[in-house]
Structure 1
């Protein structure tokens, strides 16, 4: 293949039937993808990673706009079609600028790796200062390895070389793209292309990328826990998952669509439903069905949560109706609901198989509430939404939580539709769901996990005790958030129902 663009790294055989195009970011080089590219080549891909203008001793163009860098790469897309296109950081913005040149009919897997799609003037200045610091202090490979324990020495060496052999004045690069706004380019994605946005752990990056990408229904957002901005060095295998259409995501989260763990070919399935002011990732910690016993685990985000638009009303049955496609598409061995999610599960009981055994677990759900109790809980939720507690605040109040638990709790609040804080309680008056226990199929076993009465209330136990075929279990020392504090109990009880 002959193209007008000089300077590129290649892996694999040019005669391979599948092709991948990898585009690096600012102050970097084609070899930032050395681990990803090697893995793709091993899977039978011919991989090309061009060096952008102004990088790896290439002369910069007359301007520093992202579109200029994209135009420089158009010959690659004119010469061949690609099964995979990946861009890291600024390279992801170049990829967005190239979407309009992709095949309209050939399926293409597009992966953006922690790209900054929208930046304010203050954020531009901050990032310019960070990059300028690297250019002036000349960190060594040892410096990078000390700061990034997941990097190999080769990763660190390529990072050093990317910084030192470029011809890009980073000030010009940042200033040449003001306003820094690229969201509109998602609209250029051909219908045949699938686009995944990998995002660094919010503890090490920022959550604004998630908020930006969640506005687009046909873009899959995936947070990579414990990953910094340099996901291709730290978790290259995660980049390969969406790129090669291998959907065995064990650490992925898709806002606005289900969070999924395990293999779609697994013989057993579990459906997990979160509560109010929360998200699918409330179940992130140690619910190891997929690791221990081969489950495909699906945790949808309810309407009005995780940046999903609210349903037509706030009734629990409406939320349950939104999940009916999951029950129509497959049968589940285990169904778990936390808090309000437990009420959604009760509303779904009538749709469970009549003969196939199903283990149903409600996690500290308030099945009956008086008007005063509704008002109290609404005030508590409103207070969280108004005061925006930090992860540190939640950890101080909940000593059994990890920092990751607290972060997902923090994110669950701002990423919901705030009308739901009042709408859900008011839309379900009277708050009375006990009658739904009668809809449980005879083949289903139902366990009601209840927080320690010292931290919750005893009314849940009294209600569960009215039903002979409902197993009530108090979890000592547990608050309302049993899935954070004693997740293994949830797993044990879910499996107990299947074994019995």
Structure 2
């Protein structure tokens, strides 16, 4: 497994001792994290977002297994080395972050997973694949705005740009290479306090029901909150609520 160097985008004071890494989901890019990145920067954090392999300006590669993405993430370190004080991941980015944190405990001090895609069965994988390829081939500002009229205009703009900027091969292989899509075995080994911000089960949540309960039961460091009314992209469907949950949890975890 060869790793690739991931391009970085940055928000906030680069000298801040509180350094966060943000990891986007399938068909997205570093720029699609802007609401969370900006919110963390406003709260005094140095926020760095990366383009995953095959996405945005990142190198293209021949393999797109979650373990490859996790390896790329483990290769990222803040300026001056040391751990990330916080890693925030969405969807497959959250799955890769969970695998990375479960592999190397010194990589991150805290973890936030936005509706993580930790385990997908075959019908779910095929649905994800069809949606990603359809967006890559035909998404427009008008079509995304019609589908998500409540999204911020920048979220719509970045969604269209990101899915078109991603390699079509990468979008396919991130699903097809992961025919055994399941990183739950890494969750018990996560040594960092972890918050799962899950989507509403009535709006297409990937972290819900018996699956969510089983995952939470494997590690006492995990806790979860559901964002009512939000779909899988919780940070775009309900950015204020998502950021509030994140910042409240961070403040509580920093309280002596």
Q: TM-score, normalised by structure 2?
A: 0.86
Within 5 Å, give how 1:299-338 maps onto structure 2.
299-327=49-77, 329-338=81-90
Within 5 Å, give how 1:419-498 maps onto structure 2.
419-441=169-191, 444-457=192-205, 460-466=208-214, 467-468=216-217, 469=220, 470-495=222-247, 496-497=249-250
Give me the whole-angstrom Cα distance separating, in 1, the residues matched to 2:9 and 2:61.
Answer: 19
Within 5 Å, give how 1:102-181 maps onto structure 2.
none
1:278 aligns with 2:16: no
Displacement after TM superposition at 1:472 (Å): 2.0
What is residue 40 of structure 1 aligned with on the other side? none
Give me the whole-angstrom Cα distance separating, in 2, the residues matched to 1:259 and 1:461.
Answer: 35
What is residue 106 of structure 2 aligned with on the other side? 353
What is residue 3 of structure 2 aligned with on the other side? none
Give me the whole-angstrom Cα distance separating, in 2, the residues matched to 1:374 and 1:458.
Answer: 11
Match for 2:8 among 236, 258, 266?
258
User: 1:137-171: CA deviations, max 9, x gaps?
Assistant: xxxxxxxxxxxxxxxxxxxxxxxxxxxxxxxxxxx
- Which has the larger helix fraction? 2
Displacement after TM superposition at 1:419 (Å): 0.3
Partner-residue secondary structure (3-state), 2:26: coil
What is residue 341 of structure 1 aligned with on the other side? 93
Partner-residue secondary structure (3-state), 1:327: coil
Partner-residue secondary structure (3-state), 1:309: coil
User: Measured at CA, do residues 417 and 489 of structure 1 come closer, stay the same or move farther in structure 2, by a change above 3 Å?
Assistant: same
Aligned length: 239
Kept in 1: contact 2:151–2:236 (CA 8 A)? yes
Gaps (5+ residues) in structure 1?
1-255
Displacement after TM superposition at 1:278 (Å): 0.6
User: 1:342-372: CA deviations, max 9, x gaps?
Assistant: 0111111132339x8x331111122211112
Kept in 1: contact 2:200–2:230 (CA 8 A)? yes
Give me the whole-angstrom Cα distance separating, in 1, the residues matched to 2:45 and 2:205.
Answer: 33
RMSD: 2.0
Give me the whole-angstrom Cα distance separating, in 2, the residues matched to 1:283 and 1:459.
Answer: 20
1:364 aligns with 2:115: yes
Gaps (5+ residues) in structure 2?
1-5
Higher relative contact order (CA 8 A, sep 6+): 2
Displacement after TM superposition at 1:330 (Å): 3.1
Kept in 2: contact 1:451–1:478 (CA 8 A)? yes
User: 1:437-461: CA deviations, max 9, x gaps?
Assistant: 01201xx211112211221147634
User: Measured at CA, do residues 327 and 458 of structure 1 come closer, stay the same or move farther in structure 2, by a change above 3 Å?
Assistant: closer
Partner-residue secondary structure (3-state), 1:385: helix
User: Measured at CA, do residues 296 and 412 of structure 1 come closer, stay the same or move farther in structure 2, by a change above 3 Å?
Assistant: same
Displacement after TM superposition at 1:303 (Å): 0.9
Give me the whole-angstrom Cα distance separating, in 2, the residues matched to 1:408 and 1:393.
Answer: 13
What is residue 39 of structure 2 aligned with on the other side? 288
Give me the whole-angstrom Cα distance separating, in 2, the residues matched to 1:304 and 1:360.
Answer: 24
- Which has the larger strand fraction? 1
